[in-house]
Structure 1
Amino acid sequence: MKNSTYFGKIQGADLALLLSTYFTNADKIRTREQGYNQNYEVLEKDWDANFRNNGQNVFLKPWEAGDIAVLSPRFLEILRDSFTLSILETSGYEVFFVKSYQEQIMMGKKLVEMIRDSKTTFDQQTKLELSGVLYSFGDADFLSILTNGKAPTGFNLRYIASDLFANYQIREKDYVSIEYPANHFAWASSYFTVDAFYGRVNEMDFSPYSKVFIEMRGEQGGEQFEIAMKDVNDPPDGSETKLKIIVTKEWKVFEIDTEQFLTADMNRIMVPLAFVFVAAVGKMVHMRSVQFKKE
C-alpha cells in the first residue's frame, strides 16, 4: 500500500502521515530488535563461559544447589558481577519494545478504521490518541497528560526525592496515588515529562494552552503541596514559580491559568506539571486526570 497508486492520492493528508509513520516505525523496531538480540546473545555466551563450572547452578537453581545459607554469599557475588549486571541492565530495555509494539498496534487499528470508513483526515479524538506518536499535539483543542491515572504515549509520570532511590506512585484502577512519607525525605516531587519519538523529543510548545484542569483528592483531606511547570532552561534548584494547592477528601477538578507559572517559557516546556512536597508531614494524594485546554 505504501508504494501503491492509492498512497499517491492521499499524499499530504493525515492518513498518508499515519501510513508513512507506521512503516517507518516497523523498520525501526525490526532494526532495534536485531541489535538487541545480537547483543543479548553475546552477553549470555560470555556469562555462561564465565560461570558454567563456577557457580552457575547456585545462581540459576539455588533451590537445587544445597544449603542456601551456605551458598548465599556466592549467589550474591554472582549477582553483583559485571557479567550479570550487563545482562540485567540490557534486559531493562525490553519495556521500551513493549511500548513500541503498543504504539504500532494502535496505529494499525487506526489505519484499518480510517481506510474502512474512507477517511483521510484526523478528527480531534484521533489527534489526541496519536499525539505522542505523530507529535501533532498543538493541533488538538485539548491535551490530556493523564487519563484514569495513566499517562498516554508521549508522556511519563516520574518520582524524584532527596533520597536517591524512591518511587511512591501507586497505580490504582482509574487513578494514581502519590505518597509523600512522613519524616522520610527533605523533599519529593511527582512530575510529568515529555517523552515523544522514543525519547528524542523531551520538550513541547504549550503556549496554545491557557488552562490546566487537574482532578484529584487527598486521602484525609486538607493536604497541602505545590505545583509547577518547568521549561528546558529552568535550573534544578526549585526556583521555578510554584502554586499552592489544598485538596479535599472528595474528588475535585482544579482549574488553573497557565500564565500563573511566571518563570515557565510555554514555548519550550520540559515538565508540563510537577507536584512538590516538602518538610516532614506525610500525605497521600490521588490523581485521576490532567488536561490542558485552549481558550
Structure 2
Amino acid sequence: MIKLFHNIRKQLLEQDKISNYLKYAIGEIILVVFGILIALQINNWNQNRIEQETLWGYLNNISINIENDLKQASDLNFINEQLANNTQHFWRLRSKKDFTFTDYKATEDYLNILFNLESFEPNTSGFETLKTTGYLGKLQGTDIETLLLTYYESAAQVSKWENKGRTFLDNLLMENNKTNWGFSYEALFNLGRDSTAFTEIKDNYQKMLNAPTYDAAVVSHGYNNFLPSKLKLHFIGKSILDLINQHKLQASDQVMRSVALYKTDFSDIGQEEVVINGIIPKSVHILTDSNKGFDKLKFEGHENYLEFHINPNLNWAAAMFVVDSLGFNNRPSKDFTAYKKIQVELKGKTGGEKLELALKDKYDPDDGTESRVPLTLSKDWQTYTFDLQKDFPKANLKHLYQLAGFVVQDPKGMTLKIKNIQFLKE
C-alpha cells in the first residue's frame, strides 16, 4: 500500500501536476489522521472496557463481602433475639426457692451465650480496594456510590456500638470475678459431669446470679437492640447486591427515599413516613407492652414488612411507634399539624383479626383513654385511611408522641403484619 502511494506521488511530480499533487497530499494527510483517530478511539474503547471490567470486578468482590456481612448480622440478630426472649425466664429461675440442677444448666447456658456474644465485624476489604485504586471516583454521582457510602458508614457505626457492648460485658465479668462466691469455676465445670456436687454450691451460685453485675449484664440484652441495625444493613446491603447483580448503577426512587429515611434528622417537625415498606426511619422507635410484660410480643423484621406476633391469654397487648430522641427526653414529640390523615397498610395471618389503631400525644396518660379506631384485618394487604381530627379528637397533633399504636384485646392472640404507615397532607 505504501509503495502504491509512493508511485502515485512520483507520477504526479513527473507530470508537473502540482495542484493535483497538493490535493492528493492533503487527502493522504486526512486519511492518516482519520486512521490515527480510529486507532485512538479503538484504544479508548478498549481501555474503557478494561476499566469497566475492573470496576465490576471490584463491585463483585464487594457483593461477596456484603453477603457475608448480612449473614453475620442475621446470625447475631438470632442470638440477640434468643437472649431477649429468655430474659424473663432467667429472672424467674434465679429467684426460685427450689432452684434445681436443671435450672442451673438453663441459667448457665444463658450466661455462656451472653458473655461469649460476638461483635459485628464487617468485611471492608473490597470497599477499601475500590477506594485505594481510585475506582470509587468512577461511581461519583451514582446511586450505588451513595448506597455504598451509607452502608459502610452504618456498618462501622454498628461495629463500634457492638464492640462497646462487648467491652461493657467483659468489664462486668471481670468485676464479678473479683468476688469470692464460695466456689471455683472448676467446680462449675465439674457440675456438668457430676450433679451430686450441685447441692454444695447451689446457694452461693444463686447468690451470684442475683449480683448487681449480672443484673446489669442481663438488662443490657433484655431487649434486642441489634434488630434495627440488622434491618437497616439488610435493606441497604440488599439494594447494593441487587444493583450489582443487575449490572446497574442507579436505583429506584423508592429505594433512595427509603435510604434517606435512615438519615432523618431529629427536628421538631414530623415527617410523612413512619414505616415505608417495612423500613423504620431513624427518628422513630418501636415499643411493645402487654399486661404481662413486653416480652409477650415478638417483633420481627422481614424484607418489606414488619411482623408482630402477640401471644394468647393476654388481657391486652400493644405495639407502638413513638418519636425517638437522641437526648432521651421524656416523651419527645413532634408537630404534625400540617397533616390531615393517617394511612396504614396491614394484613393478618388468617384474616378477621380485630384490633385498634391509637394515636397519643405527650400529655396523654397511659390508661387507655387515648383516641382509637377499630380495624378488622384481611389476610391480604389492605390500606386503611383515617381523618386525624375526626377519628382522633383527643390527640394533640402539635405534640404527637405515639405516631401509631396497635392495641390488641383478643385472648386468642394474633399475628399483625405492617408494610406502611404514613401521614398525608391531603
Report the CA distance between 1:228 and its aligned residue: 0.7
* Pair 1:178 & 2:310 matched: yes
Whole-angstrom distance in 2 between the partners of 1:133 and 1:58: 49
> What's the CA shift string for 1:197-228, capped at 9, x where partnerless?
7989965565557341342348684x654321
**Change in CA separation of 1:34 and 1:111 when aligned onto 2, cut-off 3 Å:** same
* Pair 1:73 & 2:203 matched: yes
Does 1 or 2 have the higher relative contact order (CA < 8 Å, sep 6+)? 1
Q: TM-score scaled by structure 1?
A: 0.65
**Change in CA separation of 1:258 and 1:25 when aligned onto 2, cut-off 3 Å:** same
Structure 1: stretches of 5+ with no match in the other structure: none
What are the residue-to-residue correspondences of 1:1-295 with 2, within 5 Å? 25=154, 28-29=157-158, 31-51=160-180, 54-57=183-186, 59=188, 62-64=191-193, 66-67=195-196, 70=199, 71-90=201-220, 92=221, 95-96=224-225, 99-100=228-229, 103-104=232-233, 106-107=235-236, 113=243, 117-119=248-250, 123-128=253-258, 130-135=259-264, 143=273, 145=275, 152=280, 154=282, 155=284, 157-164=286-293, 166-169=295-298, 175-179=307-311, 181=313, 185=315, 187-195=316-324, 207-208=338-339, 210-217=341-348, 221=352, 224-247=354-377, 250-251=379-380, 253=382, 255-259=384-388, 260-266=391-397, 268-277=399-408, 282-293=411-422, 294=424, 295=426
Give the secondary-structure state (helix, strand or coil) at the position aligned to 1:283: coil
Give the secondary-structure state (helix, strand or coil) at the position aligned to 1:76: helix
Query: What value does the CA root-mean-square deviation take over the aligned residues?
Result: 4.9
Give the secondary-structure state (helix, strand or coil) at the position aligned to 2:413: strand
**Change in CA separation of 1:266 and 1:18 when aligned onto 2, cut-off 3 Å:** farther
Report the CA distance between 1:274 and its aligned residue: 1.6
Give the secondary-structure state (helix, strand or coil) at the position aligned to 2:384: strand
Report the CA distance between 1:257 and its aligned residue: 1.4
Whole-angstrom distance in 1 between the partners of 2:153 and 2:327: 13
**Change in CA separation of 1:199 and 1:102 when aligned onto 2, cut-off 3 Å:** farther
Larger Rg: 1 or 2?
A: 2
Give the secondary-structure state (helix, strand or coil) at the position aligned to 2:370: coil
Whole-angstrom distance in 1 between the partners of 2:396 and 2:143: 30
Whole-angstrom distance in 1 between the partners of 2:381 and 2:238: 34
Whole-angstrom distance in 1 between the partners of 2:370 and 2:362: 12
Contact 1:193 1:271 in 2 (8 A): yes
Give the secondary-structure state (helix, strand or coil) at the position aligned to 2:168: helix
**Change in CA separation of 1:95 and 1:217 when aligned onto 2, cut-off 3 Å:** closer
Contact 1:160 1:188 in 2 (8 A): yes
Q: Percent identity?
A: 15
Number of aligned residues: 276
Q: Which amino acid aligns with 1:89?
A: V
Structure 2: stretches of 5+ with no match in the other structure: 1-130
Whole-angstrom distance in 2 between the partners of 1:231 and 1:225: 20
**Change in CA separation of 1:60 and 1:105 when aligned onto 2, cut-off 3 Å:** farther
